[in-house]
Structure 1
Amino acid sequence: MTLDLRIFTEPQQGASYDTLLAVAQATEKLGFSAFFRSDHYLTMGGDGLPGPTDAWTTLAGLARETSTVRLGTLVSSATFRYPGVLAIQVAQVDQMSGGRVELGLGAGWFKAEHTAYGIPFPAKRFGLLEEQLAIVTGLWSTPVGETFSFSGEHYTLTDSPALPKPAQAKIPVIVGGGGPRRTPALAARFADEYNQAFPEIDAIGPRIDVINKALADAGRSPESLTQSVALVLAVGKDEAEFTRRAAAIGREPAELREHGIAGTVSEAVDRLASLRDQGVQRVYLQVLDLQDLDHLDLVAREVAPQL
């Protein structure tokens, strides 16, 4: 099985649209399957200059300035947008891209960005996420000419025309999270992909087993859900280049080797192969230095062909 490699960015740490465009176009040119970005409005360290960019505004622009690479979020927060608005936005960007969009949706966790920009942050958010997943997928799957209604604790929709429709027959939906019971059940109910974000390496296989059990309980086969992980990327053609890249993102080499796709080319290949052996099918490579396009080139030329 060939491991699917995607590029994942964190623009809230400081990136303009033009910077993201350069990374997305390099992602496409170098043969990675997708360009993804986080959906955050506040830096998690540093000054964050020039400031945040909105995830779906960014992806709308990239939809028109790329042609083959898939585009999506890891992950949009259910606290940021009403589900009807989100369904319209994502379907429109899917149309703009010719059917290349994927939606990662989560409950949201970063309280500071909510208080910084006046976004409500309820203490209990899992119910919001569950209802948003039901509404978004329900709107998209409603046949043209029919209407969609929903009555929940958080949202009510009455006779929605459920338009516009995506270009794809079904936009892939990505769910993640570490809960022992509710999150696996949610993934089994709504998701096309389950993502583990920055897990401990030895916890990945056991978590896949948990998700597969939830799929079985829901009457789904393991093959119906893609298993993915997101891990930090820091690879060098030699030890000196790796050490330089670690320093550029403010991380210690030993810590990166323990938690990410890090080290020399051979070390990166070994880590990715071990993930594949645990049942991982797709890896989101978290690129933190968005100016270092040579980093992507190295992985595309030296790492990917060995997988």
Structure 2
Amino acid sequence: MGRMRLRIFTEPQQGASYDTQLAVARAAEDLGFDAFFRSDHYLRMGDADGLPGPTDAWITLAGLARETSRIRLGTLMTAATFRHPGPLAISVAQVDRMSGGRVEFGFGAGWYEEEHNAYGIPFAASARERFDRYEEQLDVITGLWETPVGETFRYEGRHFRLTDSPALPKPHQAPRPPVLIGGVGVKRTPRLAAAHADEYNVPFNGIEDTEAAFERTRLAVEASGRSRPMVYSAAQVVCCGRDDAEIARRAEAIGRKPEELRENGLAGTPAEVVEKLGRFAAIGAQRVYLQVLDQSDLDHLELIAAEVVPQLG
């Protein structure tokens, strides 16, 4: 199969300190993975205790920017509901500079109402309003980054208005860091991806549904007439072991069953994981984000680097 890139994706809201995330990011870098990504959430999901509590995605990535040297750094996905677009554009541009141009900006509309209630973050009840605000924020953030130095940016939206913005600081990457848009929305998501995204990501879906979502976005890209290429990617939970006992141990550590993980993720022996990655490659996935739920298990990353990555072409 063609050269597929593997990226490490973590969910620190389930319970991970900055130091734990640093250990995973450094291991991912040392082992040759393409990127370290993290979710952007403030509240645990399911029955995890979430201790020691949430860490802020962009503060975490700012730290990692100074403590790593090669690996790409990003979010799947920063919630538009958490931060005003102007300050967010400043934060991400700063982290991009702090990293020497290694940031990728995954950006979504926000969906997890409980975390907003838990930390006093306003949450629009209607998905339509959240998407309307998100669309304007995409315009604002990319507009600020792409404004030439010495020129000002203005924006007149229904939800956001900017007047005479110096649109500083500029990110290290020109004209801006790569923008990732994801999800399986049928209409607006493909259109917004075609307009704004450098990468379109489908998280935690099977092969057929992922292929259908890729196709919707491909059609939207064609209809938009854009010239720059789109990168297509998927995110999948990973649970790899040398034998059934190791697979079962890793599954139990994340509260899942091996059979269910084989069905709904990338699970099994290295050969099984390679085979399923091949099926994602066949539908056009150029990158796969491996959702690593047990961040204390660095041997897991070592196994994937040693036994899976070399077989990806």
Could you state the TM-score of these two structures normalised by the residue count of structure 1?
A: 0.98
Residue 201 of structure 1 and its aligned partner are, at CA, apart by 2.5
Give 3-state SS (helix, strand or coil) of 2:69's partner.
coil
Q: 2:43 aligned with 1:42, yes or no?
A: yes
Give 3-state SS (helix, strand or coil) of 2:308's partner.
helix
For 1:217, the equivalent position in structure 2 comes to: 223
Match for residue 95 of structure 2 among 93, 97, 104: 93
Give 3-state SS (helix, strand or coil) of 1:71's partner.
strand
CA RMSD of aligned residues (A): 0.8
Moved more, 193-202 or 270-279: 193-202
Alignment of 1:52-91 (within 5 A): 52-91=54-93
Answer yes or no: is the 8 Å Cα contact 1:201–1:259 preserved in 2.
no
Residue 261 of structure 1 and its aligned partner are, at CA, apart by 0.8
For 1:149, the equivalent position in structure 2 comes to: 154
Paired residues, number? 306
Answer yes or no: is the 8 Å Cα contact 2:240–2:270 preserved in 1.
yes
Match for residue 236 of structure 1 among 233, 241, 265: 241
| Inter-partner Cα distance in structure 1 for 2:226 and 2:154 | 26
Alignment of 1:119-138 (within 5 A): 119-123=121-125, 124-138=129-143
Residue 202 of structure 1 and its aligned partner are, at CA, apart by 2.0
Which letter does structure 1 place at the counterpart of 2:109? A
Identical columns (%): 64
Alignment of 1:106-255 (within 5 A): 106-123=108-125, 124-169=129-174, 170-220=176-226, 224-255=229-260
Answer yes or no: is the 8 Å Cα contact 1:94–1:167 preserved in 2.
yes
Residue 220 of structure 1 and its aligned partner are, at CA, apart by 2.6
For 2:5, the equivalent position in structure 1 comes to: 4
Q: Deviations over 1:187-228 (max 9, x none)?
A: 00000000001112221112111110000110035x710000
| Inter-partner Cα distance in structure 2 for 1:255 and 1:201 | 15
Answer yes or no: is the 8 Å Cα contact 2:207–2:279 preserved in 1.
no
Q: 2:15 aligned with 1:25, yes or no?
A: no
For 2:269, the equivalent position in structure 1 comes to: 264
Residue 47 of structure 1 and its aligned partner are, at CA, apart by 1.2
Q: Could you tell me which runs of 5 or more consecutive residues in structure 1 were left unpaired when the two chains were aligned.
A: none
For 1:286, the equivalent position in structure 2 comes to: 291
| Inter-partner Cα distance in structure 2 for 1:50 and 1:228 | 31
Runs of 4+ in 1 over 6 A off after TM superposition: none
Answer yes or no: is the 8 Å Cα contact 1:234–1:256 preserved in 2.
yes
Residue 83 of structure 1 and its aligned partner are, at CA, apart by 0.3
Q: Deviations over 1:3-54 (max 9, x none)?
A: 0100000000000000000000000000001000000000002210000000
Residue 238 of structure 1 and its aligned partner are, at CA, apart by 1.1
